[in-house]
């Protein structure tokens, strides 16, 4: 839990806030909203619909960078809003508590009074969940944009003045057209300008990503009114983002760019993971191959670390959305190409589970297995589409006794995701919750275990006393490194049998 630390002044000593406040620009297109004058009145009112992983941090940083802008995040969930107004924020993100504490009650607010906040806003952000459809047309691939439409209808219903409406949610191309049609049906004759402003955050580094973004993308209708709306939004970001990093496009390019960006990143993960399987079969070392390939400037080094696969709320959902879009427009070959990224990711997770079972004498029934890490990546508590979940599911189906330790994941969140994504719950599989224990430490999880599997790359797992862990494990003691973060040779000297993604097994090859 992170206690709120109040910070006097605008931006002070906390490390997460040590970025330049303002970048002057000679470009006259966007005039930054002045932020160096403190007063009781605000120059602009922003309302964000959705207090989740995107809306909360994004609005907190805007408030921190623009004290003359009043920002209010609204949500239907009283529990969620109460958490944002407390020291125990609803999401874990390094640096976020300090940013929220600095602005909360000054120019940053969280509320369930949705109607009132929409009425007073000049700009309304839509930042709600757009999950993959589970039934109906396009089930399993198409994005469900119901929440976006509901937000648009609420804005049209309660607004009393013209507004700029900004899509922050990741949506299929041409969703803005539907949003605009709903808004245009308002009964007061109000005029709404719809913009696309997708987020490019990485969980775990969201605050520095927002403070110093690679780019800010704003898409709008190429009319005088649409261009003016884009300029107004860009003026907010221009308080701290250099002008050359604020990109403006048409609406459809902006909506598609977010899907394509995530698809390209996921494609790199699946590409190196496909090579990891070949490395294990041939005796090559995937880390060496990755380093060699990544030194080519045309390819680059990032996202070339092999693992059990990608997870999180974006990659799979956005690729499936892209696949469905391609199919909708009759581009089946394109759809098949991008769908292979998903198939490879699923293969990697299944391959890891199967290797655990086969290495442990083809049975894990009744054996204690320690799972170190459940979040989809380090420095976050997010469990959506986490690869760990699928490994846990496979082990439970093999009747193993699974003990999970993660420093940020709550048991309740773990089971909510297991039920939603894997249909694994006490109702569907009686007794399943008793088969999965959540441990309070890595040492407790490993005590008496036949094997441990590192499934999230938390830094603390590199620093564990593995000699101490080995002494308390059943023998032979197995280590399965799904993130390639451990010293495998040191573990083998202790006595572990080590299996890692894309690394040759010395018991299999005598010519390494």
C-alpha torsion angle, residues 324, 413, 350, 345 (rounded to 10): 40
Tokens 């209808």 locate to: 153
As a whole number of angstroms, the distance between CA 151 and CA 182 comes to 10
Task: Record the tokens describing residue 473, joined without a space.
Answer: 């494990």
- Is residue 458 a contact partner of residue 378, using CB atoms and an 8 Å limit? yes
**Contacts (Cβ under 8 Å, ≥6 apart) of 470:** 477, 494, 495, 496
Q: How many residues does the chain have?
A: 512
Nearest residue to 408 via CA among 377, 387, 380, 386 = 380
In angstroms, the CA 497 to CA 507 distance is 9
- 3-class secondary-structure state, position 172: coil
292 labelled catalytic: no
User: Which strands sit side by side in the sheet containing 123-126, from one edge to the other?
Assistant: 108-111, 69-74, 44-49, 123-126, 163-167, 192-196, 216-220, 246-250
* Dihedrals phi, psi of 504, to nearest 5 degrees: -70, 140
> Other C-beta atoms within 10 Å of 491: how many?
20
Q: Choose, from 66, 151, 279, 314, the residue flagged as catalytic.
A: 314
Question: What is the distance between the alpha carbons of residues 435 and 400, in angstroms, rounded to a whole number?
Answer: 7
- Which alpha helices (DSSP H) does 220-250 contain, by range? 224-237
Nearest to residue 387, comparing CAs of 422, 416, 362, 355? Answer: 422
Q: How far is CA 238 from the centre of its chain?
A: 25
Which residue's structure tokens are 């990143």?
A: 265
Distance CA 372, CA 7 (A): 35
Burial class of residue 202 (count of CB atoms within 10 Å of its CB; 0-12, 13-18, 19+): middle
Could you give the CA distance from residue 484 to residue 66 in angstroms, rounded to a whole number?
Answer: 41
Cα–Cα distance for residue pair 390/461, rounded to 1 Å: 20
Alpha-carbon torsion (236, 237, 239, 243), positive or negative: negative
Q: Which residues are catalytic?
A: 314
């Amino acid at each position: 839990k992170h206690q709120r630390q109040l910070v006097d002044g605008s931006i002070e000593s906390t490390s997460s806030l040590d970025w330049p406040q303002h970048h002057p620009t000679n470009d006259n297109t966007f005039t930054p909203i002045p932020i160096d004058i403190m007063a009781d009145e605000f120059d602009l009112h922003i309302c964000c619909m959705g207090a989740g992983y995107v809306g909360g941090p994004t609005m907190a940083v805007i408030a921190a960078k623009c004290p003359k802008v009043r920002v209010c995040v609204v949500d239907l969930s009283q529990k969620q809003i109460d958490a944002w107004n407390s020291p125990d924020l609803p999401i874990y993100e390094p640096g976020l508590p300090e940013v929220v504490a600095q602005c909360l009650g000054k120019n940053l607010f969280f509320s369930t009074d949705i109607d009132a906040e929409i009425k007073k806003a000049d700009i309304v952000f839509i930042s709600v969940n757009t999950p993959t459809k589970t039934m109906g047309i396009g089930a399993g691939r198409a994005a469900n944009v119901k929440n976006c439409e509901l937000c648009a209808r609420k804005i049209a219903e309660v607004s009393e003045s013209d507004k700029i409406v900004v899509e922050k949610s990741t949506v299929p191309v041409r969703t803005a057209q539907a949003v605009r049609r709903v808004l245009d049906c308002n009964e007061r004759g109000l005029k709404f300008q719809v913009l696309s402003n997708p987020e490019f955050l990485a969980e775990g580094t969201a605050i520095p990503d927002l403070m110093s973004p690679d780019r800010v993308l704003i898409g709008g209708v190429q009319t005088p009114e649409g261009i003016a709306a884009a300029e107004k939004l860009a003026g907010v970001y221009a308080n701290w983002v250099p002008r050359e990093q604020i990109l403006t496009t048409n609406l459809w390019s902006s909506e598609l760019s977010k899907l394509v960006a995530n698809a390209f990143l996921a494609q790199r993960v699946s590409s190196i993971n496909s090579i990891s399987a070949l490395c294990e079969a041939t005796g090559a070392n995937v880390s060496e191959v990755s380093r060699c390939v990544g030194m080519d400037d045309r390819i680059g080094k990032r996202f070339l670390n092999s693992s059990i696969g990608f997870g999180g709320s974006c990659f799979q959902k956005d690729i499936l959305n892209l696949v469905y879009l391609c199919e909708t427009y009759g581009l089946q070959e394109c759809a098949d190409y991008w769908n292979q990224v998903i198939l490879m990711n699923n293969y990697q997770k299944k391959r890891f589970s199967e290797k655990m079972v086969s290495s442990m004498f083809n049975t894990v029934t009744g054996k204690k297995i320690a799972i170190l890490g459940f979040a989809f990546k380090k420095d976050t508590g997010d469990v959506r589409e986490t690869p760990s979940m699928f490994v846990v599911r496979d082990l439970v189906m093999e009747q193993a006794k699974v003990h999970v330790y993660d420093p940020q994941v709550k048991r309740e969140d773990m089971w909510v995701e297991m039920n939603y994504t894997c249909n694994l719950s006490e109702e569907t599989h009686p007794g399943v919750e008793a088969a999965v224990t959540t441990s309070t430490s890595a040492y407790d999880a490993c005590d008496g275990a036949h094997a441990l599997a590192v499934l999230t790359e938390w830094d603390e797992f590199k620093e564990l006393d593995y000699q101490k862990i080995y002494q308390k494990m059943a023998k032979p003691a197995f280590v399965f490194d799904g993130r390639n973060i451990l010293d495998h040779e040191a573990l083998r000297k202790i006595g572990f049998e080590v299996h890692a993604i894309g690394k040759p097994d010395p018991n299999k090859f005598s010519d390494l």
